[in-house]
Amino acid sequence: MTPHWPQEADVLWRLQGHRGRDQAIAMTALAREAGLSTRILQKIIKHLIEEHAGFIGSATGAGHGYYLITEQAEVDAAIRQLEHRLGSLATRIARLKRLAPEEVLGQLRMSL
Q: Is the dihedral of CA 94, 46, 54, 69 positive or negative?
A: negative
Phi, psi of 103 (to 5 degrees): -65, -40
Query: 8-68 adopts what CATH topology?
Result: Arc Repressor Mutant, subunit A (1.10.10)
pTM (two decimals): 0.78
Domain with CATH 1.10.10.10 in the chain: 8-68
Of 76, 61, 80, 79, nearest in space to 22 by CA: 61
Beta strand spans in the chain (E):
56-59, 65-68
Render each residue's pLDDT in the chain as its tens digit; 112 residues.
455 768 999 999 999 999 999 999 999 999 999 999 999 999 999 999 998 888 999 988 877 999 999 999 999 999 999 999 888 888 888 777 777 777 777 777 777 6
